[in-house]
Amino acid sequence: MRIIPAIDIIDGKCVRLAKGDYDTKKVYYENPLDAAKQFEDSGVEFLHLVDLDGAKANHIVNYKTIAQIASKTNLKIDFGGGLKSDTDLYIAFESGATQITGGSIAVKNPLTFISWVEKYGADKIILGADVFDENIATNGWLKTSSKKLIPFIQDYVNQGIKFVICTDISKDGMLQGPSFLLYDKVLKATPNIHLIASGGITTLADLKTLKKLGCKGAIIGKALYENSISLKSLEQFILNN
């Protein structure tokens, strides 16, 4: 299972939100590279980088942060937030992203999203499935659509998608544990996907449970920044799993 720390960016800084609410913003690092280097030093290989400015602006904004981290670490970066056009995607990959995550675009412009899968391959494009009560959310979680989670995922699996990041927004940043029942439901409905769990991961026990469920990855945010999971204990977990 991939262990994937998250770095969310606003104004070029590493921040965390609660339930996606921009008014709850807390800055943890003035320079996201400092966080990325600490993660890499702890044995982490993957990074989830989210452009919250881009999510609001509907186009890529913080691409320089990708370039900085990609050039100064060996982390494999998946990048999301505001990717709406072929140009956005080109900039993200040219800046050093290994994979990109498309959420709102997959809801609002599925033809463009599928064209990205066809052009770059299913290993490069991740479906972002962010949910409130199993309804897909868009626009940096500021809006909720009428689309239901499992049919949404199944439709894209039928069109070639392999990687899915599923975030229960009600859990995100709350340090109260992830949505195990939701992920179990998704995996039973779509057993062949590479499901990456996101939102609410608080302890190493959470990671073990997600692995047992069959999740192929776990994104960890506030738990690392608030030391609910220490980098030292995470390093040991990575070595032993």
Q: Does residue 78 carry a catalytic annotation?
A: no
How far apart CA 238 and CA 173 sit, in angstroms, is 22
At residue 4, the 3 state secondary structure works out as strand
Q: Which residue among the candidates 53, 78, 88, 130 is catalytic per the annotation?
A: 130
At residue 11, the 3 state secondary structure works out as coil
Extract the tokens encoding 160: 């070639």
How far apart CA 131 and CA 149 sit, in angstroms, is 7
Q: Are 40 and 33 in contact (CB under 8 A)?
A: no
Q: Are 107 and 149 in contact (CB under 8 A)?
A: no
Q: Does residue 8 carry a catalytic annotation?
A: yes
User: With the C-alpha atoms ordered 108, 162, 10, 167, is the resulting torsion angle positive or negative?
Assistant: positive
Extract the tokens encoding 194: 């590479």
Q: Are 163 and 126 in contact (CB under 8 A)?
A: yes
How many residues in total does the chain contain?
Answer: 241
> Where in the sequence numbering do the catalytic residues fall?
8, 130
